[in-house]
Structure 1
Amino acid sequence: MPDGTPPSAPFFNRQALHLRPDPSRVVVRPFRPAVEPRDLNPVDKTRANHIVDRVLAMTADETDALLAETLRNFDDRHRNLPAIFERRAAEMEDAFAAHASFSQAQRQLVGAYFLHEYSFEAAALFNPSIVPHPDQSGVAAGCRRFILSLRAVGEGHISSLTFRSGILAADGTVTIDPPARLAATPVVTARVGDRLELGFDPASDIAERVIFPVTEMQANGIEDARFVAFHDEGQTIYYATFTAYSGSGIRSELLETRDFVTFHLAPLKGAAARNKGMALFPRKIGGRYAMIARHDNESLHLILSDDLHEWGLGEVIVKPEYPWEFVQIGNCGSPIELDEGWLLFTHGVGPVRHYSIGAVLLDKDDPSRVLGRSRVPLVQPATAERHGYVPNVVYSCGAIKVGERILLPYAISDAFSTVATIRITTLLDQLKD
């Protein structure tokens, strides 16, 4: 059985790349005088007004000097801080009703007092997913530029979504662009209930963009996004199913984007959406959307739907069969279309909750038919790397096909991430019954 970088399985080529959490990368988040509830209650408004009163009691010179000092202290850590301060002040309008008008400097300074920095990947950077980059210009023949999404975890175990870009070369070498020095959360440009439209600065680097929890259902995390490039009627839309975690409950939600600048987020409906780990097929099957899900905590189910946002329970297609998956089996991202069928990477949980990665091959026309599956893990925690945020885990949220290779990013011990390439022909040999 492969153990990290397995010499016994030459088809599996783990790259010498380690994506580790960087606590120096920060975003600014709203600071509220009390933690709960998130909206200002009367007591919170009293505290907020006390802070505002203290700012307004300063002379104009004192205000200008403190604002300038604040900008000097933080401006190299964020893009366009004055505008961020202004937006935060606008969000606080209901707390300012008892006050007279503000100067621009007072307004920005007040906004600064109701913000704090958050190190969004201080604890972990894991559970990656991958899709082809929408911009392949300038990429050499046989190469593919990609976007990697990662689950970042910071203080309080709050999960957000961050990105990297990179290239898989024709010879199988993988390069990942270094993370941007700055990072920022998007502006909410539209909101109807829990349906959101988020927008980033188009001039920002993809690695600067961080999707942080916005709704109450997401309060403690946007977890394990499974991205897929979905093809329909000549168009490509990037979808990601993810788990919204409130701190006490979960719900599957759907993210949609065409350019990784503007994003739409919406809850999924139906019995399957009350669980996690849903993965969308990259195209319709028989005119219907198709999803791999697990709602019995053990097995993989195939669900078909006429509505992208509503999912029933479907039918069981893969149950735990081998010792390394006796506890449960789940998907490691969306199925990948091959000439031979749908390749689905899976994770299995064995003794002492030891996570491993395997795969199954499903019939292309009828994905409920299993053509083959791995009897032993393809990847399992290496002895030297089994320690981390959550020990004894390898896990992925998606892979892509590039030529005759699969590019598989995966996380180790819920702490950091790496990537590997796999020869398709040799992989399929591992799945033959």
Structure 2
Amino acid sequence: MFMWLKHYMPRSLYGRAALILVLPVVAVQLVVSFLFIRNHLEDVTTQMTFNAVSAIEVAMQRVAEAESEAQAQALAAPTLSVFGMSLEFPGPGAVPAQDLIGWDDFSGSVVRRVIRLYRPETLAVLLLDNKEIEVFLPSKFGPAEISFNRRRVTVTAPHQLIVTMVFFGLLMTVIAFLYLRNQLRPITRLARAAQAFGRGRVVPYTPAGATEVRAAGGAFLDMRARIERQIEQRTQMLSGVSHDLRTPLTRMKLGLAMIDEDEAEPLLRDVDEMQRLLDAFLDFSRGVAEGEPEEVDPGALVEQAVEDARRGGRAVTLAAMQGEGTVMLRPLSMRRAVENLLGNAVRYGTQARVSVILTDKSLRIRVEDDGPGIPADRREEAVKPFTRLDPARNQNLGGGVGLGLAIVNDVARAHGGVLRLSQSEDLGGLCADIVIAR
């Protein structure tokens, strides 16, 4: 039932921590302020106003016993002077038509309510800006005006408690947030290190912070070291096997060169095929290990790859180049990925089209062809190493070893991105997108 709140919740850890700190403080202050106003300020104002009304009632009784205005003022003076009140008879024209009180004056509203509760005949109640209260009452000498200072019926500074509470609430919130920031900083450092490693970069990281954060940081370092060892071992193994096989292949070529050309031609084709497979193994073994990430203009990189493909006689066109800027990439690995996509596109189709879109959040390199494409139910399988989908493409043009899309997928994932396969809307063949977050 509270799912709609997720759209308004902060996304960052600091934002949520600030919300956790501020929300309880604000809630407590609101509750305390409400209870203070309702249960303390109102009760005190009511009691003080009741005392003032009692004095007014005694004074009006003296006025009723007097024979003249002067005598009425003299008889009421002893009672009114105790409360700092004064009595005047301003005449009928001086009585306001209605009460005068501010819309935000809570204690003033209480004063007016109590006065009218105990003196229903009151003509008007005025709470002036100079902190004076004027009460108009009927008498046998005409309207009687009793004025007194507001401090007689209201608290002098009712806001002091609220101001003090808000000040110390803000102070404690700042102190708590500074302390909490020190606890969150190791978590954010761990997140940055993990994100960088996911994008193919290794940044210095030392576990720090609370025990649980240190444990998570140590586990991340162990995992990173284990993955790096596995990548290094795979690279060394495949490179060693491929390199060692080159020597016997070279000897086989030399031996076949001394045999009759007609008899040696089929064997030479087999040797060339083995050589091509070894080259594919080497490309796969190198993977993304070539070079360190650096600031690269993806548009220039793709444009150079397209120009090289055109010089090789391939029908490749550069369709769109949107956005400018640089992205942290391994240029050799990314270039190999683009070349693999271009090679597959012209191998299984007659033309290829390349586009690059660079935004503030992502980089997308798209390669489309007009070939048979890959069925939707086999696209996930197509990016696995040593998977051949020639029956779905076009086996008559020559079978592959099944590493082309696997290399592209490894390169995309090493840069913190993904390889997406779909059907080209314009050309009808395969549409391969390398999408990398910036």
Question: TM-score normalised to the size of structure 2?
Answer: 0.22
Structure possessing the higher relative contact order (Cα contacts under 8 Å, 6 or more residues apart): 1
Greater strand share, structure number? 1
TM-score, structure 1 as length reference: 0.22
* Larger Rg belongs to: 2
